[in-house]
Structure 1
């Protein structure tokens, strides 16, 4: 019996062909002879106590001019799928929450959801890193103007960022002179109504913000260092950074060892750690990227490694 793989993602029509990690995953699953079924979050629904979706059969190709063929949509229970890849990009808003709750119903019926729905709800990508304080730089999470100002006074050079951002959006660096500190705090906290993170600036960002991909707690042996463009403090590719692959350092591997047992325990099969210098800054659990760049630079097939891991989990079930 062929394995049925569903994917919940942003519109496949609009992906970046060269960079999209979800496409790499789908292509690997197709190479294994598995059936592909495509969904977007708005296609999920609940009817008569059953979580369902309007889903379409899908075929993919590594062809920049025609990377997918989608069939006709049909309504099917989510539990018809053996595995569903939840690949909707942040932000984690109420609609994302509702999607995970519907997927959880399929999970209860035996479908493997990657990543586990409870863990998607439990672990904010910036706060999750703080579960491993031995790996993190000095930081503060607060919406208090006084506490945030005190943190800046202590560390002088500080990054301020929202807890729900992605792609480097709304990240500010405030230097020792404190220029614009007040307006940054007011804007990000919405005048004290929303928590944010303050983090001591890590100068090693100039050498890149490394993305380390982990499959069931095992790191891919190379990281993608996302190097900021001139005049930028953000290495995110979406913010204009460039990606340069590098072997993991001893410190990178130590950080992975600290995090790995929790990832396995919580059913987080595919995550991306963000590491700057010696410090863990984020643990991305929703839709980690950088598969394509690492595959290209090092001749890897990370999507296939993930599918093999998924296949092993299905066998164990």
Structure 2
């Protein structure tokens, strides 16, 4: 198979933890030809979606880990699978990229995750479709509503709808300290919609990332435990990742959402769960493959490439 990865610059990869790197290694080990391109490398020309892609040769050296064969223009339909692994920000450029990928799909390309499904599942707002698993949540740009929500619940989290890695997440406790300033900043004085959630004390035990591949959960979650003085467990915010078997509640959430999301074209999803509550549905470029594999021996990348092979054959 020829597998193309739409990703950020390869030079930016941290190979000891990067999930896309783990996917590439697994694919290459099976004899698949691995290609890479960036979003800026895509073009629609004459009604065909092309990418200026290069074959990636893995060297096995952790520091100088790849070399590229010469780039060449290829229609995305020339690949057996195109894997969307570009990180947010989920801005208009990202959306334009999904439009091009969707056009390529109509021409016969096999894209994972499906671009329309990525667009339709905001990683914060998607939890509203599964409210039986969520803590009390408010989505609004109204200062009055946000103040009323905080007054009712006391201890709350406020965050933007387009953030990643824990950026822009604030906790406001019962005293309401700095609530007005935080609301003004996050909503841009009422011009931007944000999310408020009741604070979940179990965050001290970790913000669990549950990976779901082709509708089935990986049997281990990565609990991202906040560092002292933090409410954010994100690894990018200094959290420590500890792999744990799925709890009964984790499995209930994953097994309920998994088939639904897979049917919508989401081959790989990262569910974020704090305590017993679903907090996010990550669909752009879910991570934590390597941390789980290194700590448990379960080969997450192998499970993923199995699903890609199956999906490419069935498409």
TM-score bin (small chain): over 0.9
Q: 2:172–2:179: 8 Å Cα contact kept in structure 1?
A: yes
Question: Per-residue deviation at 1:297?
Answer: 0.4
Q: 2:224–2:240: 8 Å Cα contact kept in structure 1?
A: yes
CA–CA distance in structure 1, aligned partners of residues 80 and 5 of structure 2: 11
The residue that corresponds to 1:29 in the other structure is: 27
The residue that corresponds to 1:111 in the other structure is: 109
Cα-to-partner distance string for 1:170-189 (whole Å, 9 max, x where unaligned) = 10000111010001001000
CA–CA distance in structure 2, aligned partners of residues 102 and 79 of structure 1: 12
Of 253, 256, 272, which residue of structure 1 is paired with 2:254? 256
The residue that corresponds to 1:208 in the other structure is: 206
Question: Per-residue deviation at 1:315?
Answer: 2.3
Of 112, 128, 131, which residue of structure 1 is paired with 2:129? 131
CA–CA distance in structure 1, aligned partners of residues 262 and 290 of structure 2: 24
For the residue of structure 2 that corresponds to 1:176, the secondary structure is: coil
- Are positions 1:47 and 2:45 aligned together? yes
Q: Which runs of 5+ in 2 are unaligned?
A: none
Cα-to-partner distance string for 1:221-279 (whole Å, 9 max, x where unaligned) = 00000000010000000000000010000000111122122112101010100000000
The residue that corresponds to 1:225 in the other structure is: 223
In structure 2, relative to structure 1, the CA distance for the partners of 1:62 and 1:242 (3 Å cut) is farther
Question: Per-residue deviation at 1:14?
Answer: 1.1
CA–CA distance in structure 2, aligned partners of residues 103 and 62 of structure 1: 31
Q: 2:77–2:108: 8 Å Cα contact kept in structure 1?
A: yes
- Are positions 1:163 and 2:161 aligned together? yes
Of 14, 19, 39, which residue of structure 1 is paired with 2:12? 14
CA–CA distance in structure 2, aligned partners of residues 239 and 301 of structure 1: 26
CA–CA distance in structure 2, aligned partners of residues 61 and 180 of structure 1: 51
Q: How does 1:233-272 map to 2 (within 5 A)?
A: 233-272=231-270
Q: 1:27–1:61: 8 Å Cα contact kept in structure 2?
A: no
CA–CA distance in structure 1, aligned partners of residues 27 and 104 of structure 2: 20
Cα-to-partner distance string for 1:74-122 (whole Å, 9 max, x where unaligned) = 1111111111111011111111011111111221122211101110111
CA–CA distance in structure 1, aligned partners of residues 59 and 22 of structure 2: 10
- The count of corresponding residues between Structure 1 and Structure 2 is 315
Of 82-91 and 101-110, the range deviating more from structure 2: 101-110
Question: Per-residue deviation at 1:18?
Answer: 1.1
CA–CA distance in structure 2, aligned partners of residues 67 and 299 of structure 1: 22
The residue that corresponds to 1:121 in the other structure is: 119
CA–CA distance in structure 1, aligned partners of residues 150 and 91 of structure 2: 29
Q: How does 1:57-96 map to 2 (within 5 A)?
A: 57-96=55-94
Structure 2 length as normaliser, TM-score? 0.98
Q: 2:187–2:194: 8 Å Cα contact kept in structure 1?
A: yes
CA–CA distance in structure 1, aligned partners of residues 289 and 22 of structure 2: 7
Q: Which runs of 5+ in 1 are unaligned?
A: none
**What root-mean-square deviation, in Å, do the aligned CA atoms of Structure 1 and Structure 2 show?**
0.9
CA–CA distance in structure 1, aligned partners of residues 211 and 22 of structure 2: 14
The residue that corresponds to 1:291 in the other structure is: 289
Question: Per-residue deviation at 1:314?
Answer: 2.2
Structure 1 length as normaliser, TM-score? 0.98
Q: 1:223–1:245: 8 Å Cα contact kept in structure 2?
A: yes
Q: 2:50–2:74: 8 Å Cα contact kept in structure 1?
A: yes
